[in-house]
């Protein structure tokens, strides 16, 4: 199981890092269905993956000069409190696997369709609309932080498609969303560790599996960030969208069966 987790983290992060997604959004179904991580411990395990895997892509983006502090700082200001709220909701309100599978489906299916539609019909890039206003960005980041804390993805994989839909360039979005994902995942993992002390359920991460997946993601994230300039962005977005929609449909069917 350890080597399977390493391979999954490596493959997923290599594909997702160029578009600013850590890969946790696609690793979570693998943990549930293939690796057998129980719910709700799967969520902090996913956050642990982000913590270990994140520095690989971030270091490469910083080396290339594409990691800038402005957008990342504004995202972090609101995603951090959101992910702490989401962690509490996940432990005390949504512990059951059936409800959690529905939540996974409700997130992945529309996200996948949205990614595909926005790729096939890209938004026009207007300078006055390229970046949301401060209030819109704050509300968006807070909401995404809550969902990310529940789902164990840090929130960056939700922010990326939203910002891309407004016409922002992926070269600017990817480093900022990955930075937000890494930082909020550190906070989320710490929150779950604290909540585990007062919860009768197993909400602590699977440490060895999380570290194995994260190590694979560390290498894959670096490779994906390095390849960003050489890969077709349209093809990557369509691949991510199709995969997310397929996984969402699968979990919806399993939850409703």
The domain limits of the chain are: 2-256
Has residue 112 got a pLDDT over 70?
A: yes
Has residue 132 got a pLDDT over 80?
A: no
Has residue 75 got a pLDDT over 80?
A: yes
Has residue 126 got a pLDDT over 60?
A: no
Has residue 200 got a pLDDT over 70?
A: no
pTM of the model: 0.76
Residues 6+ apart with CB under 8 A from 196: 44, 202, 203, 204
Q: Give the per-residue pLDDT at 252.
A: 85
Q: Please give the residue that has the higher pLDDT: either 97 or 224.
A: 224
Residue with tokens 């960030």: 225
Has residue 183 got a pLDDT over 50?
A: yes
Q: Quick check: 183 and 47 in contact, CB under 8 A?
A: no
For residues 18-44, give the mean pLDDT. Answer: 78
Q: Give the per-residue pLDDT at 127.
A: 45
Rounded-to-integer distance, Cα 136 and Cα 123, Å: 18
Has residue 125 got a pLDDT over 60?
A: no
Q: Which two tokens stand for residue 248?
A: 């969402």
What is the pLDDT of the chain when averaged over all its residues?
80
Q: Quick check: 38 and 244 in contact, CB under 8 A?
A: no
Q: Give the per-residue pLDDT at 124.
A: 58
Q: Give the per-residue pLDDT at 203.
A: 66
| Least confident residue range of 13-27, 124-138, 204-218, 221-235 | 124-138
Q: Give the per-residue pLDDT at 62.
A: 83
Q: Quick check: 90 and 40 in contact, CB under 8 A?
A: yes
With cut-offs at 50, 70 and 90, classify the pLDDT of residue 128.
very low
Q: Give the per-residue pLDDT at 120.
A: 84
For residues 118-146, give the mean pLDDT. Answer: 74
Alpha helices in 34-133 (DSSP H): 42-64, 69-92, 97-120
Q: Please give the residue that has the higher pLDDT: either 9 or 251.
A: 9
DSSP 183: H
Q: Give the per-residue pLDDT at 202.
A: 60
| Least confident residue range of 2-11, 139-148, 214-223 | 139-148
Q: Give the per-residue pLDDT at 97.
A: 59
């Amino acid at each position: 199981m350890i080597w399977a987790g390493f391979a999954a983290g490596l493959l997923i992060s290599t594909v997702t890092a160029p578009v600013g997604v850590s890969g946790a959004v696609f690793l979570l179904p693998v943990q549930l269905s293939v690796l057998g991580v129980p719910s709700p411990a799967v969520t902090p395990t996913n956050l642990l993956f982000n913590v270990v895997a994140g520095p690989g892509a971030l270091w490469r983006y910083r080396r290339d000069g594409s990691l800038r502090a402005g957008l990342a700082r504004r995202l972090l200001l609101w995603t951090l409190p959101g992910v702490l709220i989401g962690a509490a909701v996940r432990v005390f309100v949504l512990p059951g696997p059936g409800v959690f599978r529905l939540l996974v489906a409700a997130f992945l299916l529309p996200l996948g369709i949205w990614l595909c539609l926005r790729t096939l019909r890209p938004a026009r890039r207007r300078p006055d609309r390229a970046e949301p206003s401060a209030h819109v960005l704050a509300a968006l980041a807070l909401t995404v932080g809550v969902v990310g804390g529940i789902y164990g993805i840090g929130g960056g994989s939700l922010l990326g498609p939203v910002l891309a839909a407004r016409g922002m360039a992926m070269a600017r979005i990817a480093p900022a969303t990955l930075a937000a994902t890494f930082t909020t995942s550190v906070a989320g993992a710490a929150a779950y560790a604290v909540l585990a002390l007062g919860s009768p359920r197993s909400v602590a991460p699977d440490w060895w599996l999380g570290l194995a997946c994260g190590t694979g993601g560390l290498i894959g994230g670096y490779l994906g960030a390095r390849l960003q300039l050489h890969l077709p962005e349209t093809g990557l977005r369509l691949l991510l969208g199709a995969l997310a929609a397929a996984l969402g449909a699968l979990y919806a069917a399993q939850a409703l069966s």
